Amino acid sequence: MASSASRGFKTRMQINGTSTTAVQVIGVRGPNLSRDKIDISNFENTNDAKEYLKGMIEPGEITFTIVVAESAMSTIYALLALTTASETYGVKFEDGSYWQGTGFLSGISNEVSREGAWQADITIALTDKPAYTTAA
């Protein structure tokens, strides 16, 4: 049976609905949504089982691992230092589907090795629940 898995090839980072050409994405983690659970266990619970209610959703973060030219890093660092308003960030996949949400650039970490390309992790803290849109 053929797999129905999607591939990550040509996945793009989007800022305000536009795929950015300043970076080349080599990995994406997130969005890592989670939901709080509210413990309402009490002395009357049956079957010795705890009881929970659904809590609020934590929108989490999206982290892009990128390779980038040194000249583009100053632009990315400027976004971290100067951004005061939230932007719309997204992860667009090859098939046209995408995750999109509002957030701000919350971190950058670099990794440089003797034989490898200059890499950086760019982390976006999401400020609301992101939406997933399937390919048209």
Written as one string, the DSSP assignment of 64-76 is: EEEE--HHHHHHH
Per-residue confidence (pLDDT) for residue 60, from 0 to 100: 95
Q: Is the pTM of this model over 0.85?
A: no
Helix %, strand %, coil % of the chain (to 5):
10, 45, 40
DSSP 114: S
DSSP 47: G
Domains and CATH numbers, the chain: 12-133 (2.40.30.200)
Query: In whole numbers, what is the pLDDT of the chain averaged over residues?
Result: 84
Dump pLDDT digits (tens) for 87-119.
888 898 888 899 999 998 888 888 887 777 888
CA–CA distance, 79 with 102 (Å, rounded to integer): 15
pLDDT at 59 over 90: yes
Distances 14 to 1, 6, 91, 104, 134 between C-alpha atoms, Å: 34, 19, 6, 13, 16
